[in-house]
Structures are given as structure tokens and as C-alpha cells.
A and B are shown apart, each in its own frame.
Chain A
Amino acid sequence: MMDFVYGLLLFLLMLNLLLGLVRVFRGPELVDSMMASLLLGTGGTALLLAFFKITKEAYYINLALGFALLAGVVGVAFAIIILGKSKDGI
């Protein structure tokens, strides 16, 4: 019973990642692709938390925290570096 419930849960979360990958592939513009990779960041964090719930190993929370932090930094950096104009000097 528990196996089936957790399997269904992991299937839903994996479907989430898969749909994100489809949008990255189809995305007409670059922004759409980056948005979908952001979705992959959130979905990956959710998957790690689901692993934490299933196995009760404490290190998954640290992994999730690092994942969330760096996915956000990458998103902001994409918006500023790729979409913006370049200027000299900080």
C-alpha cells in the first residue's frame, strides 16, 4: 500500500520535471527555456523533499536548501547577463 502511494507521488513529481523539459525543448524564445529550467529547479527541490519524507535521512534537507539557493542565483544571473546590455566596470 505505502509503496503504491509513494510510487504515485514520485510519478507525479517526475511528470512535473518531464513537462518542464518539454517546454524547454519547445520554447520559442530563450526566456521560455530559462523559465522551464527554473521549474526544474523547483521540481528538483520538491523531489528531494519527497525523498526526505520517504527515507527520513537528514541530509536531503541540506541538499534541497543548496539546490533552491543556487537555482535562484542562476535564474537572476541569466536575466541580467543574457537578457541585459553590457556595461563596463562595477
Chain B
Amino acid sequence: MAFEILSIAFMFIGAIFLLAGSIGLIRLKDTYSRLHALTKADVLGFGFIVLSCILSTDLLSHWIKLLLVWLLVISYSALVGYALANRKKRYA
């Protein structure tokens, strides 16, 4: 029961972090700062959501796959942020 409450709390924290990222995407004035807000909030918020899912299952295969999802999301977030900023600065 304690794990369940903790898991739901983690998911709420994650959702609020993701929401903070998207509010930053709406409110900030400049493309680069918007990119910054988006990629930073994704990492932490998504991490909390994955943590919540890990707490709610007890299969090893699910844990591995969930960790892989998190790893993929953060590495792609970094890579795409870098690629978009670099290309925009050079060509656009």
C-alpha cells in the first residue's frame, strides 16, 4: 500500500514537471530558451514517471524495459536538442 501511494505521488510529480516544461514552451520568448525548457523538463519529469512505473510492477523484464525507455528518452532529448540548435544556428 505504501508503495502504491509513493508510486502515484511520483507519477504526479512527473506529470507536473512535464507540464512545467510545456508551460515554458508556451511562455518563453526565444527559440533557444524554449528548447532549453523543453529538454530539461523532459529528463526529470519522465524519470519520475518511469520510477513510478518501476514501483508498481515486480517483474525484472519490465524493470529493464522501463529503464531502457528512460535511457532512450533522455539520450534522444539531448541529441535532438543539440541537433536542432546547431543546425538552426548554422543554416537558418
Contact = CB atoms under 8 A, between A and B. Distances in A.
Chain B: interface secondary structure?
Answer: helix
Interface residues of A, number: 45
A35 B25 contact: yes
Interface residues of B, number: 46
Nearest to B42: A42
B80 A76 contact: yes
Given A83-B91, A83-B92, A65 B68 contact: yes
B38 A16 contact: no
A72 to B, nearest CB: 3
Nearest to B23: A19
Name the 9 nearest CB pairs between A and B, nearest first: A72-B76, A75-B80, A79-B83, A83-B87, A19-B22, A12-B15, A68-B72, A79-B87, A61-B65
